[in-house]
Amino acid sequence: MMRLELVKRAEKSRLMSVLSPVFAVALTVVFAGIVFAAQGHNPLSGIWYFFLEPVTSLWGVEQLITKATPLIIIALGLSVCYLSNNWNIGAEGQLTIGAIVGSIPPILFPDFVNPLVLPLMLLMAMAGGALFALIPAKLKTSFGTNEILTSLMLVYCSNLFLDWMVRGPWRSPQGYNFPITIDFHEWAVLNAVDVGGIYLNLSAPIALVLVVILAVVMRSTLKGFEIRVLGQSPRAGSFAGFSNRRMTAFAFALSGALAGLAGMMVVMSEIGKLQPVISPGYGFTAIIVAFLGRLNPVGILIAGLVIASSYLGGEAIQTSLQMSSKLATVIQGVLLFFVLAADTLILYKVRLVTGREGEGARA
Amino acid sequence: MGEGTGDTGEILRRVGGDTPLLEVRHVIKRFGSFAANDDVSLKVMPGEIHALLGENGAGKSTLVKIIYGSLQPNAGEILWKGKPVTVASPAEARALGVGMVFQHFSLFEAMTVVENIALALPNCKATRELADTIARVSANYGLPLDPNAHIADLSVGERQRVEIVRCLLQNPELIIMDEPTSVLTPQEADQLFVTLRRLAEEGCAILYISHRLEEVRALCHHATIMRRAKVVAEADPARETVNTLAQLMVGNEIIRVIRDKGRLGPEAILLKGLTQISQEAFGVSLQDVNLSVRSGEIVAIAGIAGNGQKELFDALSGEEPLEKEDMVIFAGEAAGLMDINQRRLLGAAFVPEERLGHGAVPALKLSENVVLTRHGTGEGIARRGFTRFGKAGRIVEKVTSLFDVRKGVLDPEARSLSGGNLQKFVVGREVERTPKILIIAQPTWGVDAGAAAVIRQSLIDLSRKGAAILVISQDLDEIFEIADRIAVISRGHLSKAEDADTLTPEKVGLLMAGGAEKKGAAAA
């Protein structure tokens, strides 16, 4: 009898840490090919349209960066949560509340028009997202509530709250009864600038700066060390004098703030007002980005671009092959599945065991 | 084996007269290079209450796990009613007729007694008949239980009854009980003994693990005594005194390292009325603990595991907050309300019992594990929020050469080190700081003799350089080797620390088996 056996490695394999996402992407491409074939399309052309065609034009690259930016910013915050063993699933809600709070200046004070409005909106959005994220954090530290459930459920609360706001108190009087707020004024939007043929706004460089800051924090500060220690071994963390409760609050507040920031910038650049739906699920997709990027800031930067391309790929197969763009969601899920599975190789070796060998230990 | 007492004749007679219910022959169980059971043999007769005695780490639990099928031996055989058997899993053990009552219960708190029991029985539902059976069996054996009560509402003693009744419903012929009285009040224990005698009269054998020698003498028909993975003696407890049993348990071969008396300085550790009510289900409350340790001496706290050692360590390290600041005084400063790093700044260092997961983070490198305990000691390992791993790396090199830590690469992850080498690192990391105060739990737990010698010598050297050292240990050999004074902890009470030269292992063994709490029990 032959079987596969997983043998624990003494140490993490550095090689596999790098290779495992590559394996995962490769397996996902193969899987996508099978799906295309099953739907009666040529798998190779499906793969071309889904994975490659979108980035063959400057416009495609611009779209890619625009979609990747919020994913990266949110995933950076989530990575701090997940590294410290706090399971914030509610970034989508923190994004929404952040955007609502940050929209107070242009909507309630439309006459307050000056350059200070823009930074003020971003700061208010971060504060709003952070405070909203502190609700599940506080419930966890005070009552031992499962933060996965509470943070997830608060997403629905926040979405309904936004829906009510734009249909009720904040509905634009000039909006022909559409559920939208008034348009933001000129200092309350992010304008795109031409950078070598592609138009980018401030959010992309902000995401890059955040990647660098978080990389430095995680690598060489005591705070980054604290995050890693408490996530891996809470008891050793308290032996080091770190507090689990404070870390939970910190991680949720940080990821809430970044989600709020991302949400605000999406509204300020792409929409220019509030409406019932402001995000195509960035807060949830960022969870995949965080894990695909190995909870590492630079990894998240790359993963954000990969996942963003799947959004574009979904649109591309819809127009080119008349397939449902929902396939993009399927492929994102499959990618996460393969990432988690391939991660096994980092800590385990695969060994082929033939019959007798495994039985020898028995007396 | 040797050391058999005068009762071998009687044992042989009983063994010869009947087939043993359970016989374990020459069992060997190794974990890596460490033998937890080394050529262990044991016979249990039907209807016999058979005590299994030994210090922590003597190999009792390993043996019991082998009998119950949760571990497989590397060599040796098990005979059930004279026939060789392989017990591949606890389910197979139960099918043979072996039941086990665990020290820590495995019950669902939100469910009722009958639901919990139905879960454990194959193809059984929580029916009215089952409830009736439970009520009948429990009343029969003097273990009154309400089948419809919720576990959460039951006392610890009643929960144990549920476990016992669950075990009895499977009609076992051998019941293994792992320290059943450690969680019981004296009254509950007495009631349990009545039940056990009743079971034995009906022919059910009981393998009884306990440290409490008085109750073993009163209850058990026969005792097998283990020390350091081997069976060292068989005895008839009724014919032994508690003293002679303790002596068999701890052994005579105490090796003393030559050490001159240190020069005693001022009191560096002072505990005044340290009282801490435990909030955990199996926690032990500390009861008015008083102790002083002066610079230049090693004071050891002996005791059987689970008598408050963990709670005492957490109270001293500051991981568990205290009520009053003067309950713990370090170097003259009231430290009771300080956190662990404030205490470290006073010159204190700590080595917990659990190396991986408490003393060190398994997946972090050694240099990062240096940062773990030394970032807040004012040595500049963390400055302005930035960590200096280079500096930590140099400490790793120093500890490695001072303590002979064997490792494959320069800076490996903690989990890749062997137990002994990791322990040398964890101790060395603190000793290299030359702390004024060192609190260390189980300094050589599960460590080979060579590493143990290195660690013990380093503790003696550190104390002679003027450090006050408090050792919490279950290993009496170790305690007598290094301690200047010895106190004993039992159910959260600490005995007065006495000069090690005036004590014998037997005397300490007696205190460990419950003698230390007499004063406290009278007060309570």
In this predicted model, what pLDDT tens digit does every residue of A109-149 receive, in sequence order?
A: 988 888 999 999 999 999 999 999 999 999 999 998 999 99
Q: Please, which residues bridge with residue A349 across strands?
A: A7
User: How many Å apart are CA B119 and CA B100, to the nearest integer?
Assistant: 16
What pLDDT was estimated at residue B240?
83
* Final residue in a domain of this structure, among B415, B434, B453: B434
Task: Give the mean pLDDT of B428-443.
Answer: 91
Q: What is the mean pLDDT of residues A336-345?
A: 84
B340 close contact with A: CB closer than 8 A: yes
CB of B410 within 8 Å of any CB in chain A?
Answer: no
Kindly state whether residues B89 and B30 are assigned to the same domain: yes
3-state secondary structure labels for all residues of B238-251: HHCCHHHHHHHHHC
Nearest CA in chain B to A229: B361
What is the rounded CA–CA span in Å between residue A249 and residue A131?
Answer: 10
Q: Is residue B129 part of a domain?
A: no
CB count within 10 Å of CB B77 equals: 14
Distance, CA of B256 to CA of B249 (rounded, Å): 19
Q: How far apart are CA B238 and CA B221, in angstroms?
A: 7
The 10 Å Cβ neighbour count of residue B119 is: 14
Rounded CA separation B65/B122 (Å): 21
Q: Let me know whether B442 and B304 are in one domain.
A: yes
Judged by a CB distance cut-off of 8 A, whether residue B248 touches chain A is no
N- to C-terminal Cα distance for chain B?
A: 43
Nearest CA in chain A to B339: A241
Is B234 in the same domain as B382? no
**Letter for the amino acid at B511?**
L
B358 in contact with A, Cβ within 8 Å? yes
Domain count, chain B: 3
pLDDT score, position B10: 41
Let me know whether B68 and B194 are in one domain.
yes
- How far, in Å, CA of B200 to CA of B213, rounded? 19
Q: Is the residue at B147 inside a domain?
A: no
Kindly identify which residue of chain B lies nearest to residue A9, measuring between CA atoms.
B416
Residue B123's pLDDT band, with cuts at 50, 70 and 90, is low
pLDDT of residue A148: 94
Choose one of B409, B434, B459: the last residue of a domain. Answer: B434
Mutation site for A-interface testing, chosen from B87, B319, B361, B375 by largest number of A Cβ within 10 Å: B361
Question: Is B18 an interface residue toward A (CB < 8 Å)?
Answer: no
State whether A232 and B354 contact (CB < 8 Å): no
Residue B182: per-residue pLDDT: 65
Q: What digits encode the pLDDT tens for the residues B158-172?
A: 888 888 888 888 888
* B159 within a domain of the structure (yes/no): no
B333-344 as b/e: b if 16+ CB within 10 A = bebbebbbbbbb
ipTM: 0.79
> pLDDT by residue (tens digit) across B136-151?
888 888 788 888 888 8
Helix and strand counts by DSSP (H, E) for chain A: 14, 4
Smallest CA-to-CA distance from B318 within B332, B333, B336, B301 is with B336
Whether residue B293 contacts residue B469, with contact meaning beta carbons closer than 8 Å, is answered with yes
Q: Which of B190-194, B227-231, B261-265 has the least mean pLDDT?
A: B261-265
Residues B257/B261/B265/B270 CA torsion (nearest 10 deg) = 60
Pair (B428, B443) in one structural domain: no
Q: pLDDT (tens digit, 9 = 90+) per residue, A189-202? A: 888 888 877 888 88
Chain A CB within 8 Å of residue B149 CB:
no
Q: Residue B355 class from Cβ within 10 Å (0-12 exposed, 13-18 middle, 19+ buried)?
A: buried
Chains A, B: CB contacts within 8 A come to: 81
Whether B419 and B442 map to the same domain: the answer is no
Task: Tell me the residue ranges of DSSP E strands in B113-239.
Answer: 174-178, 205-209, 222-227, 230-235
- Report whether A249 contacts A75 (CB < 8 A): no
| Domain containing residue B362 | 356-434
Claim to verify: residue B176 and residue B89 sit in the same structural domain: yes
Domain match, B418 and B465 both:
no
Query: CA-to-CA distance for A115 and A112, rounded, in angstroms?
Result: 10
Q: Is residue B370 part of a domain?
A: yes
Length of chain A as a residue count: 363
Domain-embedded: residue B37: yes
Question: What does the pLDDT read at residue A361?
Answer: 39
Q: B17 with B76, same domain?
A: yes
Asked, for residue B289, whether it belongs to a domain, the answer is yes
> Do residues B500 and B376 share a domain?
no
Cα distances (Å, whole numbers) of residue A53 to A65, A202, A302, A334, B172: 15, 26, 18, 21, 71
- Which of helix, strand or coil describes residue A349? strand
Last residue of a domain, one of B399, B434, B469: B434
CATH number, domain with residue B242 = 3.40.50.300
pLDDT for position A122: 95
Q: What's the mean pLDDT when you consider all of chain A?
A: 88
pLDDT in tens, B453-480: 788 888 998 998 889 999 998 777 788 8
Tokens 């801490």 correspond to what residue? B276
* Dihedral sign from CA coordinates of A47, A53, A54, A56: positive
Cα(A62)–Cα(A66) distance, rounded to whole angstroms?
A: 6
Structural domains in chain A, sorted by start: 2-357 (1.10.3470)
Contact A229 B317 (CB under 8 A): no
Do residue B275 and residue B419 come from a single domain? no
Which residues of chain A lie closer than 8 angstroms to B387, CB-CB?
220-222, 225
Q: Is the pLDDT of residue B375 over 80?
A: yes
Cα dist from A95 to A30, A98, A105, A187, whole Å: 34, 5, 17, 21
